[in-house]
Chains A and B, each alone.
Chain A
């Protein structure tokens, strides 16, 4: 799927944990807080379920940015799931930046089920950052020409 500059819209994949961020996104809907339609939310039971390899695969398949989102440490429905996520993605984010991916393209945030405004604000913020950065060409299936 080649990238057409003119009609390009940012495509952002959000891995959202079912108990907090997914519920937060629902609350954002219930409160009718609008945000850009650039985001697709993928539900996982816990942020601990998000395998860094899913993130690599997403970039390979042409996603422009990935947000890993879950409960605030201590609030996890499974008590400690998000502590692993934190440790893994502290390493993962640095590794991806190290190989040349713009830091804005892989973000992780804690958003609880009550923080609808925060969900809206984070999504809007990332969407604008990615719109400014333009389409992602790195780690993709296509040939890399610079």
Chain B
């Protein structure tokens, strides 16, 4: 008979305040198999774990149940703890009497205690049936994939490459650089964004360990940690990258002008183009939708003028599949399209623009060469109004969260307006000013004191055009009266939202995402750059709105995780995989069709039946591929397949324990 030890945790007052832990511990002694039961303030603490180890020695325990928080939180901790006490690390089960009990039944202590007992009883019934399991090893491919070539992707790739691993960066735009390439200055130091970004872009482009796959997208992801088989679609650039020298002649001569997405349609680019002058790779791409040659078959000037003969209209999309050990997702963010909501007339009045538009206007390589001009009549604005929290912190518009970086970049914009237009009047409508970084608050105060920005605490209700000027109608809640400003230019700090394709990419990778399609980290505090899918890491705004310093920090953190993974040729995998009882398996193949990871195949075995040697087929599970979902065990009618650590017998024991 198994000797089970039950350890009921108070978790300070989190559990103890509602659940009568001593009573639960005492009741646990009646459960079959329990020989030792105790309650303690902090089971996960050092003394708590020591207590478990001591109890295992003294009472010759061979199974342990810890009734405390969610196994998603401390299952690892207690598995390592029992391993330290000489038991197989899978001889521990947890009863979640905090998140699933004390925290949600605070008003009903007796019922919560009774429920805690039931949960402990279920855990004991299960742990009695736990079998010893050893972690298996699987190979790790020494190659990393970074999806997204913004600052986060570049930084992660550089750190991984500098650690000696090969990295591929997949970027859907023709050039890496992401949103940061569009920005003029960065807060709080006001140093120019391109000056700190382009060197990193060049370093990434020239780094021997880094391959840039620009104008490409991830098509399919298969396999699992250490062995991700990723199919990448390299969209046809119609330019032969090896031959092209980037001289730019074709871009000059191309007759077709198209709105430049990089310049947010405030200036034109050609059909054959590089998004911005410092683009890396600095080799153009033909926009097949707008190129006359691809639409009508005429023109072809670019191929005629090209000295290197690099233009190749016949180029096709290319699909290549590579195996990677780890993946860093760094696809960044998009700005919330505020034209959907008419109050501010964004999209209707040309002089109502977003922060990114402003960055381009104030950028030296922008459409107005750095002079702030109104998109409508190119005049220099005198009254500039900034509006913060446009879409953010506004559940009615669907974005309940704060976008974190707008307070700082709006203050920066105010500074830039003052620097460029001495006699301008700057108004900033805000609800709160959030300056959560080093030097941030000082920077904000400078905009108020030195640069004379008028911060008006209140929301803007309506903007409308009156003649040349925009009437901004709002309210000054500190003075308690409505405010009306005749503005020449209105800049909206719109919410940061997830990239439009974020949901599909998440489903390809099998990682979670929240209601706003930002990716879900494994744990907000303890594992901010990991995902629940082992081997897939997050960096930058795709995990949630954040500014550049934080994105870079996350990128290096993700890189550290990747290097930790890739530094080993093999890695231990969870032994929670299916196993086949070949004597029972009839070889019907139902499981083969159902396995999402194609980890099961039918193999032929020979057997002596009634005096004959007979060949027959049975299922066989590839422990490396199997991820332990258990779907096959239900497809198998004769229960020949069982999932280790979640066997039919264990689950049945939990069900039976619940009711007897």
Interface residues of A (CB under 8 A from B): 1, 9, 11, 13, 18-20, 22-23, 25-30, 32-37, 40-46, 48-52, 54, 57-58, 61-63, 74-81, 84, 88, 112-114, 120
Contact = CB atoms under 8 A, between A and B. Distances in A.
B584 interface: no
Nearest to A88: B634
B643 A37 contact: no
A30 B103 contact: yes
Contact of A34 (B98, B100, B107, B114): B107
A34 B105 contact: yes
A48 B659 CA distance: 24
28 contacts: A13-B658, A25-B99, A26-B70, A26-B73, A26-B99, A28-B99, A29-B98, A37-B108, A37-B111, A37-B112, A42-B654, A42-B655, A44-B630, A46-B631, A48-B634, A49-B629, A49-B633, A50-B634, A54-B651, A62-B659, A63-B655, A76-B510, A78-B629, A78-B631, A84-B634, A88-B634, A114-B512, A114-B514
A107 B658 CA distance: 19
Given A26-B99, A77-B532, A49 B105 contact: no
B634 A61 contact: no
A61 B643 contact: no
A51 B633 contact: yes
A37 B655 CA distance: 17
B507 A34 contact: no
Given A13-B655, A34-B106, 10 more contacts: A1-B660, A11-B659, A32-B106, A50-B634, A58-B655, A58-B659, A75-B513, A77-B512, A80-B631, A84-B635
Interface in B630-660: 630-631, 633-635, 643, 646, 648, 651-652, 654-656, 658-660
Contacts of B634: 48-52, 84, 88
Given A46-B631, A58-B655, A40 B119 contact: yes
Contacts of B507: 74-75, 79
A61 B72 contact: no
Contacts of A46: 629-631
Contacts of A23: 72
Contacts of A13: 655, 658
B16 to A, nearest CB: 15
Nearest to B114: A37
Interface residues on B, range: 35 or more
B99 A57 contact: no
A44 B648 CA distance: 11
Contacts of A48: 629-631, 634
Given A11-B659, A25-B99, A26-B100, A45 B515 contact: no
Nearest to A60: B659
A73 to B, nearest CB: 10
B659 A44 contact: no
Interface of B: 70-73, 96, 98-101, 103-108, 111-112, 114-115, 118-119, 122, 506-507, 510, 512-515, 520, 532-533, 576, 594, 596-597, 627-631, 633-635, 643, 646, 648, 651-652, 654-656, 658-660
B95 to A, nearest CB: 10
A46 B633 CA distance: 12
Contact of B655 (A20, A61, A81): A61
Contacts of A9: 111
A88 B596 CA distance: 16
B510 A79 contact: yes
A72 to B, nearest CB: 10
A76 B507 CA distance: 8
A127 to B, nearest CB: 12
Contacts of A36: 105
B388 to A, nearest CB: 26
B655 A43 contact: no
Nearest to A34: B104
A27 B108 CA distance: 20
A48 B115 CA distance: 26
B72 A26 contact: yes
The interface centre, meaning the residue of A27, A50, A75, A76 with most chain B CB atoms within 10 A of its CB, is: A75
B399 to A, nearest CB: 15
